[in-house]
Amino acid sequence: MIEVENLTVTYPGATRPALKAASLRLAAGECLLMTGPTGCGKSTLLNCLNGLLLNESGAQVEGEVKLAGQSLRNCPLAEIATLAGTVRQDPATQLCTATVATEVMFGLENLGVPLEESEIRRTEALNQVGLGDLRERATSELSGGQQQRLLIACALALRPRVLLLDEPLSQLDPQGAAEIVAVLDQIRRQG
């Protein structure tokens, strides 16, 4: 599902690569936790797996990244959005609409998914993360853990093949973090 081959990334002006000759293979259903000190290249790898650094970012990227057999080099963004869903660490800065319901619709509308299909996907995604009863809730009134789960629902609604999370627990209290871990475990079990 994920194939990374000899990936080396050098940011503009940098004297040495942020990531050097990284290789990685993950099959469908596998879950990988990457740990390491700040600055070791975790976000850089993640931003290659979602295509961000591979396409006109200014960074020099050597090597290959494939998701579900598709090379991400020169891959249109709309296509990458259906391959990889990304959730970053600070939920509040990633939310861009007023309510839970509209937030999930935002990405679906951007991808041109028909309304009827979008509504089905929204219900499914919100149920998956345990927010089915909070559809009309203002995003600003959600707890950090609920906001993070909403962002996971937004990603899932696009039906990506791979879900990428950059330090998804770092801004959460222990209860919020436990909820995210439970949701991720359930998603993994459901395949």
Answer for the pair 91, 118: CB distance below 8 angstroms, yes or no: no
CB of 63 to ligand ADP, least distance (A): 15
- How many residues touch ligand ADP (CB under 6 A)? 11
Helix (H) or strand (E) holding 128: helix 115-128
Q: In terms of CB distance, is 17 or 85 closer to ligand ADP?
A: 17
10 strand-pairing partners: 60
Answer for the pair 62, 7: CB distance below 8 angstroms, yes or no: yes
Pattern 23-62, ligand ADP, x by CB under 6 A: -------------x-xxxxxxx------------------
Helix (H) or strand (E) holding 21: strand 19-26
- Is 66 in a helix, a strand, or coil? strand
**Of residues 119-158, those binding ligand ADP (CB under 6 A):** none
How far apart (Å, rounded) are the C-alpha atoms in residues 104 and 132? Answer: 12
Q: In terms of CB distance, is 14 or 31 closer to ligand ADP?
A: 14
Q: In terms of CB distance, is 53 or 129 closer to ligand ADP?
A: 53
Which residues would be at the binding site for ligand ADP (CB under 6 A)? 11, 14, 18, 36, 38-44
